[in-house]
Amino acid sequence: MPSDAKLNQRAWEEAYAHKNDYEKDLSKHIKSKSLYYLAEPLKEVLQSLEIGPESHVIQFCSNNGRELLDVCHTFSCGGTGFDLARNMVESANHYAKTLNISATFHAGDLLEQDLSHHKKADFVMMTVGTLCWFQSLDALFAKVTEVLKETGVVIVHDSHPFTYSTLAAASESNYDARYPERPVNDYGRTEPWVEGGGMGYMSTLKNSPVFVSYSHTMAAILNALSRHGLILESFSESAIDYAGVFEESKTVKLPYSMLFVARKRML
């Protein structure tokens, strides 16, 4: 059986090949220097950091590059992005060249890449929908530590592990429209989620090759950070569902997203 990365690469590439208006006005939005493609909590954190022309930002799961391109153009910094989907990476490099932005993008399984060949990062950025693609958080945060400069910072804005593990989306068989905020799935689930819905925020596909993803507990995330020398500096939660998965759940303010900043420990 193909690895999770191979399965997900195929699914992402097909979804992107059938994209909707996902890239509409992309160049215009990036040229605006408004950080249009970043969620407000992430935008606020990045604006509070000292990011400038000498800075280098790395993004894991960079997709078609729009978020990293937005950051690099706004702060006049350099960037490197990594993503599984080759067609997305080709588009990202095309946009970087067209917009004259100092960013390069690389395709392939992040965990199999030798990142020592790439420039060290002042900042590593991960956005909503990143952590779930890695079965091993230790493997992921080992890569973060590998690419960060001494005292470099990792910023992770992602879905909250509790709600995204325990609530059922409207498309799931155990979803109950009367009680959308009722936990029905196991927190701490270790089995993969295997789904094929075409990645609707991006694609016109109703069906697609399967995507394989994983749930992680908050404890697993924090312990993986600690094991790899990343010291938590701030943590926040939000009742806004930036992934748009639980749009029916609006009566109870649950934590649907989180943002944390951690700094690489000096040896």
Note the CATH architecture for domain 4-264. 3-Layer(aba) Sandwich (3.40)
Pairwise CA distance, residues 31 & 73, whole Å: 7
Pairwise CA distance, residues 156 & 159, whole Å: 10
Residue that the structure tokens 């990645």 belong to: 199
For residue 251, the model assigns a pLDDT of: 81
Which range has the worst mean pLDDT, 169-178, 180-189, 242-251? 242-251
Type and span of the H or E element at 218: helix 218-227
Residue ranges per structural domain of the chain: 4-264
What are the pLDDT digits (tens) for 2-38?
Answer: 679 999 999 999 999 999 999 999 999 999 999 999 9
Which range has the worst mean pLDDT, 103-112, 131-140, 168-177, 210-219? 168-177
3-state DSSP percent of the chain in helix, strand and coil, to 5: 35, 20, 45
Pairwise CA distance, residues 63 & 16, whole Å: 9
For residue 2, the model assigns a pLDDT of: 62
For residue 1, the model assigns a pLDDT of: 46
Within a 10 A sphere around the Cβ of 57, how many other Cβ atoms? 25
The reported pTM is: 0.95
